[in-house]
Structure 1
């Protein structure tokens, strides 16, 4: 506590027109205010040991949270990789199946052309139209699958960025 010269302050008050009793009353009131303020301030203070223990607890909690977030990220990345591989495999199977079907369809059309050229000319036009529609449908389905995969990738990236941002916010917040 800094030193306070009560006698000097009392003389100053008396020189300004206060009576000795009034000066003593002001000094007593100031003394009570200072004592009460000191008590209030000291009760709100935390000991260094308590502060260090709280900081250690926060660091431990943050370390556990960081480990959990990293584990969740690894698990999510593994799940995404697995799903991506599965989708690639399914797309490859579809592509092969469609390729085989196209090959079979073309072989059938060629056989029919060799057997009945006259009648087949009209049928060939129809078959080519069907093949074009099938190719268009296949292409549109492949495009839809690609768009769906891009959407999934975007969602994964958004989730990862959100997780990293949340982790960063937690780090910066602490």
Structure 2
């Protein structure tokens, strides 16, 4: 996310073509790029929740999430930024303690790797399953949209139970090469 503006600035400075006006223009471009990137990423994350909880998929889910997020845009972007910051800190801790941790023994590095993995998996589950669903319901209530619990329950039952029938031995065909 943040690597592209840094590379642009580094390339401009290394060539030696930067002056005061160029610095200002480049700073405005970097801020504009990052702002729009966070806006689009926030809408994208809410669209994944909309596609699960409603009958909207793809571009329709993006439009629905953009309309939903209008009332709580600052809250959604702030939550997304904080969660991405936590993920980035976990990544930096893993890199410093496990990958570059040459001063400590192998047992300590494995223990830190397990801790970072548990933090990562918990963070992903918390971010994508809990926070996005809460933001979805908060945005829906902000727009005074009806949340039909029975329809939502019926819709999610397909994901939870499904119409799966267990396979029997006669249903499986073995191929011989």
TM-score by length of 1: 0.32
Looking at secondary structure, tell me which structure has more helix per residue: 1
TM-score by length of 2: 0.32
> Does 1 or 2 have the higher relative contact order (CA < 8 Å, sep 6+)?
2
